[in-house]
């Protein structure tokens, strides 16, 4: 009665094996019997000792709550109820799974020692059911065991990045962990990007203060004593799904808490931000909450004109790094002098403008 059941360790674990003490009176001088849910406890778990007021027996493996426990002495019976300890999750592997889907192994105890002890097993991660793992034509049970140690095994569905609530129903009991418990924290795999909803105060120096409050969502500027102007900036308005980095780009899998992660051009490519009227550009429904979600990554010509992240090599400038050849770049092999204007040069394959 004095045990905190939330700890999951009150000596009533589903594996059994602990010696329990029943306190009462008039247990007699002959060995009484212990029954659980109208089933006599097996001999190996039977009473190890007793007195007029105490009965000691070993708890068998099992599961459930509010189970009927009886002491029988001939035709005389005395009853009470008890519950096995609730399930406990110690850790999840992987702890930072792919938000586009991953197989989780949920480790802990009090999951029941057999599939019958486990009962109906359900796992929810966030607001979605974690599904049974399918191997070929076989659908595996969520409840598994390895060398006598039970664990749960399931496949997540596509979800947004960030920590998620974990709720499981196993061994006829429920247990839940808030997202703040960090049992599961979804991330993007390599070559994908996405980040959690985030708001922050940004200064004109690029500094970051405390998160925005609801009263500051209008983003009115505040002038600080040091002259810095603070605005409440919404980095992303919602938790994001992971989307693939387009061809010609790269993107970080680790979302910044100050600036939104965006795909940037790699060497030899240039990123052009466009509206959604061009069928050839990349318009992502999962990024419509961002200011820019339509873009195109185009090859540069020549390839070496673009060094990555929309940066032009020396001697090149402008959109797609197609412009070149001011008077300071006369040594550029791709340019020829215009005899009519000493400050204007020509690309070998086209005019500089």
Res 8: pLDDT: 62
Please tell me the predicted confidence (pLDDT) of residue 233. Answer: 59
As a whole number of angstroms, the distance between CA 179 and CA 181 comes to 5
**Cα→Cα distances 213→101, 232, 234, 257, 265, Å:** 33, 9, 11, 16, 35
Residue (of 63, 172, 145, 151) closest to 112 by Cα position? 63
Determine the pLDDT at residue 317.
77
As a whole number of angstroms, the distance between CA 301 and CA 334 comes to: 11
* Range list for CATH 2.60.40.10 in the chain: 5-82, 88-186
CA distance 49 to 26: 15
**What distance in Å separates the CA atoms of residue 38 and residue 47, rounded to the nearest whole number?**
16
List of E strands, 110-179: 122-125, 128-129, 134-135, 138-139, 143-146, 149-155, 162-164, 166-170, 173-177
User: For position 9, what pLDDT does the model report?
Assistant: 72
pLDDT of residue 4: 65
pTM: 0.76
3-state secondary structure of 181: helix
DSSP string covering 251-302, please? --SS--SSS----EE-TTEEEEE--TT-TTSEE-GGGTTSS--EEEEEE-SS
Radius of gyration of the chain (CA): 33
The per-residue pLDDT for range 19-41, each reduced to its tens digit, is 888 888 777 667 788 899 999 88
305, 312 in Cβ contact below 8 A?
yes
**The CATH number of the domain covering residues in 5-82:** 2.60.40.10
Q: What is the pLDDT of residue 277?
A: 59
Can you name the CATH fold of 88-186?
Immunoglobulin-like (2.60.40)
83: alpha, beta or left, given left = phi > 0 and alpha = psi -120 to 50? beta
Task: Report the alpha-carbon distance of residue 23 to residue 316 in Å, rounded.
Answer: 89
List phi, psi (to 5°) of 103.
-95, 125
Asked whether 191 and 247 are in contact (CB, 8 A), the reply is no
By the 8 A CB rule, do 248 and 267 touch? no
C-beta neighbour count of 322 within 10 angstroms? 19
- In the chain, the N- to C-terminal Cα span, in Å, equals 85
State which residues of the chain have pLDDT below 50: 1-2, 214-220, 255-257, 327-332, 338-353
- Write out the two tokens for 252: 């970080």
Tell me, what's the pLDDT at 283?
81
Place of tokens 């403008």: 353
Nearest to 44 by CA among 13, 79, 8, 19: 19
Instruction: Name the DSSP letter for residue 117.
Output: H
| Cα separation, 68 vs 80, whole angstroms | 6
DSSP reduced 3-state for 94 = coil
> Across-strand partners of 230?
203, 222
């Amino acid at each position: 009665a004095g045990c905190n059941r939330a700890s999951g360790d009150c000596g009533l674990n589903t594996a059994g094996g602990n010696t329990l003490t029943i306190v009462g009176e008039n247990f007699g001088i002959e060995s009484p019997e212990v029954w659980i849910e109208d089933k006599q406890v097996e001999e190996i778990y039977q009473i190890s000792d007793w007195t007029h007021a105490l009965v000691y027996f070993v708890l068998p493996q099992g599961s459930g709550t509010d189970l009927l426990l009886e002491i029988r002495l001939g035709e005389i019976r005395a009853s009470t109820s008890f519950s096995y300890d609730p399930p406990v999750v110690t850790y999840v592997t992987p702890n930072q799974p792919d938000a586009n889907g991953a197989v989780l192994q949920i480790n802990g105890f009090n999951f029941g020692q057999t599939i019958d002890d486990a009962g109906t097993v359900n796992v929810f991660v966030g607001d979605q059911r974690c599904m049974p793992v399918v191997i070929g034509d076989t659908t595996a049970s969520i409840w598994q065991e390895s060398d006598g140690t039970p664990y749960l095994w399931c496949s997540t569905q596509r979800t947004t990045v960030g920590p998620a609530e974990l709720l499981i129903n196993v061994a006829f009991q429920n247990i839940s962990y808030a997202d703040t418990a960090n049992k599961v924290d979804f991330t993007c795999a390599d070559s994908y990007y996405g980040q959690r909803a985030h708001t922050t105060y940004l200064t004109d120096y690029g500094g970051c203060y405390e998160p925005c409050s609801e009263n500051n969502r209008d983003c009115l500027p505040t002038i600080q004593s040091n002259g810095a102007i603070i605005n409440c900036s919404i980095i992303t308005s919602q938790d994001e799904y992971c989307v693939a980095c387009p061809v010609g780009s790269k993107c970080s899998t680790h979302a910044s808490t100050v600036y939104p992660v965006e795909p940037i051009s790699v060497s030899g490519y240039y990123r052009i931000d466009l509206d959604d009227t061009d069928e050839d550009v990349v318009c992502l429904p999962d990024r419509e909450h961002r200011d820019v979600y339509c873009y195109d990554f185009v090859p540069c010509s020549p390839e070496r004109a673009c060094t990555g992240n929309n940066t032009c090599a020396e001697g090149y400038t402008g959109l797609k790094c197609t412009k070149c050849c001011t008077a300071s770049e006369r040594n550029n092999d791709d340019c020829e002098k215009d005899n009519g204007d000493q400050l204007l040069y020509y690309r070998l394959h086209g005019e500089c403008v």
